[in-house]
Chain A
């Protein structure tokens, strides 16, 4: 064993694993993430996978990546540019090299850099020889060969052995970043308990990678990142989709309502269906419907009969559900529609993120059909907003459209787990009293009573035709229609009194305010704090309530001379704010299916301020 390799202390690192979609990069990244979480670093992840399940091996469009940013202090994003890339083949190098920091390290599986793979990746010349990687610290590791050597007695076929090379890479990275291998060893034991040969092989590959790091001359330095000083508590690493799913299970328990999910599989929302399907012991009712429309209309039926009813989808699915959302508006039922946004229009970029459904969420229905629109801003926040969606929907008998996006849905971060008792209850009362009942009578919130089938004496009919207020009878009366349209709008508008005000952070008296909504929170926050560290005076406000807007929105916007609104669309929030509050907004947008890099927003801030005055 070589001794005396230098250990270098780092405050934060961004790593990216990249390889063929069959190389197990998501698994490798997830394992590295879980171990890093256990070490106590703050972290943020960004999986990036192709739309094709198994694109042709070796091609650039089959490249799957997983990025992880971990740190000894509080961080907000998965990192703009990786410090280190693990590239399993030429295609992975080609796709990812442009994102790297200038002096980044690139660990390459040299065994895959043959003429065939170079050609498949579209390289005319070998980048390892043509000087195009100058400036990078390229480490050529015989990854496939080493894995084969380690597993020659494993009893596995060559193909099976080749599949283990990601564990070799993982072991090597564990060594390089001083991570313990035990959690993954334990995981392997568990995961492959029915296939002992594979368990042994993966374990061996992991250890081989680790020892390779220790013994090879290729690495002279190993790195260490101290645990972050996060607030006291018990943590777990959680993705947005997972947080959203268990958020709704929690809402079900807290409200006493059975949770009903009507859903049709769609990227990137399907993981919510998968997660909720695991929790049937909470009485969760997951219904995989025949299509998006059946998914939402079954949920409407369930809401009518007394469930906490939700439907999960992405943009194209929301388009299909549009008419049914209108029915929920008209029938004034509590229904939650979850849109995990992806690149559009049409099928668009199924596996990539975007924020381009805001207009659809707020206005995308026939007629005047207001719904509450809220958005989660980080993976862990998806939990909180699930509770909030359930609270608002049931309290006001109104559909709530809950916006998430591919970035926070698949990304993950440490989540300080709340004590169940500290989570406020959601009070729901079904109407049971016969005396004085009318289906469209109103309480102080303009909500109509929730009288569910099975309750004697409260038999009533609801539907998509315009209803007379109070009696709920079908009505074509002109005055009644106008009254009801305004009433439904007012009911939603009144919710501004029941949601938090828009909070301004940073330099409250700054000249420039940076705003955004939903999943861009991390990037904007990091950009603002960097700009401030560099001497810029900048304020930040982030929207989680999009309809209605927080009550003080106008007041906040009018305070600042210059407002930058950063969005992953063509400026949809900016448009709404401009027309609503008649303020000038500098719309800063990106529509590439990718999240903002903090540096992009920081640069924008810098341009507006005109350089920093330190």
Chain B
């Protein structure tokens, strides 16, 4: 038998640098595109993730973001539109020793590839999905996407779109994703930390990254990324900590029943003790869902960080454990027994 499973070798861990993960291909995104930052954060983080470079596989679909694998000096498949989670599932299930990552966009993952996305989440295949959400179709030159806000005027909707958008985090939570997070292209430190967290998670890890498309949807996330507006509009989620934000750390989030509310910490309206303490590991997805819905409420800030992380066995692990179990019960496959089976008779 040819053994196609890479073996953990006992040699000392190789020390990589970001350069080891940089391929020789010229990067061809538009100058100023948020994709550059995401690529840089991934390349910077990769040496610290504890992988062997040869075990890393980047899979993508179609779209600007899906060029990503070409720029990583790892194994990679630039697939077809929407199918990256399914391709990645095949790679991972066939060889669970590999570290499999998906780079995808809002059109790729949530429009044409929506089905594969939700099924990857529910199965909890041990793959990491980075959604570059720019709320627009870039590669096809500027049509509205399934995450564009209602009323969006684009080339294909000159009078404004009339369809309601997806909330990617709500969708992931609804699809039973075990790791759900959000970060920003313009916040390198945060993005790096979230990538690390995702890589440590066993199971499908989903990160929505707000990514600026400076050509077709410039400034879509300005409120959350610019120095002067960011503090009052973004709340950083930290496990076990109360939700506080604001330029002067003077605003908090309180949960009244199922209703979140921004409270003023400076004027005595509420104290830190009244605030919602973030629990990433809450078994129930209810609070994470409320958090995900902040974007639908103009009074609420944008949560970034890990919304939810729970433990559940992974599909690929269960898949192979079952095979091993059956091998034990039935014995390793024997061709002779396979062929010479059923009702047989002899002709002399």
Contacts and interface: CB of A to CB of B under 8 A. Distances in A.
Interface of A: 34, 37-38, 40, 183, 227, 229-238, 246, 249-250, 253, 255-258, 260, 262, 279-285, 287, 289-291, 293-294, 297-307, 309, 323-324, 326-327, 331, 417-418, 420, 428-430, 452-465, 473-474
A301 B338 contact: no
A183 B342 CA distance: 12
Contacts of B116: 290, 293-294, 297
B319 interface: yes
B70 A461 contact: yes
Contacts of B72: 461
Contact of A305 (B56, B57, B119, B341): B57
B2 A430 contact: yes
A183 B344 CA distance: 11
A227 to B, nearest CB: 8
Given A236-B342, A291-B115, A331-B77, A301 B90 contact: yes
Nearest to A247: B339
A568 to B, nearest CB: 29
A297 B79 contact: yes
A234 B90 contact: no
Contacts of B78: 461-465
Contacts of A452: 4, 95
A183 B2 contact: no
The 5 closest A-B pairs by CB, nearest first: A463-B78, A301-B90, A454-B6, A282-B333, A298-B90
Interface stretch (B29-37, B272-280, B321-329): B321-329
Nearest to B24: A473
30 contacts: A37-B345, A234-B347, A238-B342, A250-B339, A257-B2, A258-B94, A279-B333, A279-B338, A280-B327, A285-B319, A289-B86, A294-B116, A300-B87, A301-B90, A301-B94, A302-B91, A302-B94, A304-B87, A305-B94, A306-B4, A324-B80, A417-B339, A453-B55, A453-B98, A454-B54, A454-B55, A462-B76, A463-B79, A473-B25, A474-B25
Contacts of B326: 280-281
A287 B91 CA distance: 12
B89 A298 contact: yes
B83 interface: yes
* Majority secondary structure of chain A interface residues (helix, strand, loop or mixed): mixed
B54 A324 contact: no
Interface in B293-348: 319, 322-323, 326-327, 329-333, 335-336, 338-348
Nearest to A230: B347
B52 interface: yes
Contact of A293 (B54, B86, B330, B338): B86
A459 B335 contact: no
A40 B339 contact: no
Given A331-B77, A454-B5, A454-B6, A299 B90 contact: yes
B170 interface: no
A457 B54 contact: yes
B89 to A, nearest CB: 5
A40 B115 contact: no
Contacts of B196: none
Given A287-B90, A294-B89, A453-B54, A234 B338 contact: no
B88 interface: yes
Contact of B74 (A298, A306, A459): A459
Contacts of A249: 333, 335, 338
Interface centre among B76, B81, B322 (most CB of A within 10 A): B76
A458 B80 CA distance: 23
Contacts of B335: 249-250, 253, 420
Nearest to A451: B75
A294 B93 contact: no
Contacts, number: 230
Contacts of B94: 258, 260, 285, 301-302, 305-307, 309
A234 B5 contact: no
A234 B340 contact: yes
A285 B93 contact: yes
B327 A283 contact: yes
Most buried by A among B25, B57, B348: B57
Interface in B51-73: 52-59, 62, 69-70, 72-73
A467 B346 CA distance: 55
Contact of A287 (B76, B89, B346): B89
Nearest to B346: A234
Given A253-B335, A256-B2, A454-B55, A301 B88 contact: yes
Contact of A301 (B54, B59, B322, B342): B59
B23 interface: yes
Interface in B178-220: none
A232 B87 CA distance: 47
Contacts of B332: 281-282
Contact of A290 (B74, B90, B95, B115): B115
A430 B6 CA distance: 12
B1 A280 contact: no
Nearest to A252: B333
Given A294-B83, A464-B78, A474-B25, 9 more contacts: A38-B345, A235-B344, A256-B2, A257-B4, A283-B333, A301-B59, A323-B81, A429-B2, A461-B58
Contacts of A420: 335-336, 339
Contact of B348 (A232, A246, A281, A290): A232
Contact of B69 (A233, A250, A260, A463): A463
A461 B77 contact: yes
Nearest to B70: A461
A291 B86 CA distance: 10
A233 B348 CA distance: 7
A161 to B, nearest CB: 28
A301 B73 CA distance: 18
A40 B327 contact: no
B97 interface: yes
A453 B99 CA distance: 10
A236 B98 contact: no
Contacts of B57: 304-305, 453
Contacts of B89: 287, 294, 298, 301
Contact of A460 (B56, B75, B327, B329): B75
A336 B106 CA distance: 31
A306 B338 contact: no
A502 B344 CA distance: 33
Given A237-B342, A454-B95, A281 B69 contact: no
Contact of A297 (B76, B86, B95): B86
A284 B327 CA distance: 11
B91 A304 contact: yes
Contact of B80 (A256, A291, A297, A430): A297
A417 B339 CA distance: 7
A287 B342 CA distance: 26
Given A294-B119, A420-B335, A461-B77, A302 B93 contact: yes
B80 A323 contact: yes
B60 to A, nearest CB: 8
A575 B77 CA distance: 37
Contacts of A262: 90
Nearest to B315: A287
Nearest to A286: B319
Nearest to A465: B78
A418 B87 contact: no
Contacts of B58: 461
A287 B347 contact: no
Nearest to B60: A463
Contacts of A474: 25, 70
A215 to B, nearest CB: 29
A261 to B, nearest CB: 11
Nearest to A420: B335
A417 B347 CA distance: 11
A440 to B, nearest CB: 14
Contacts of A227: 347
A456 B88 contact: no
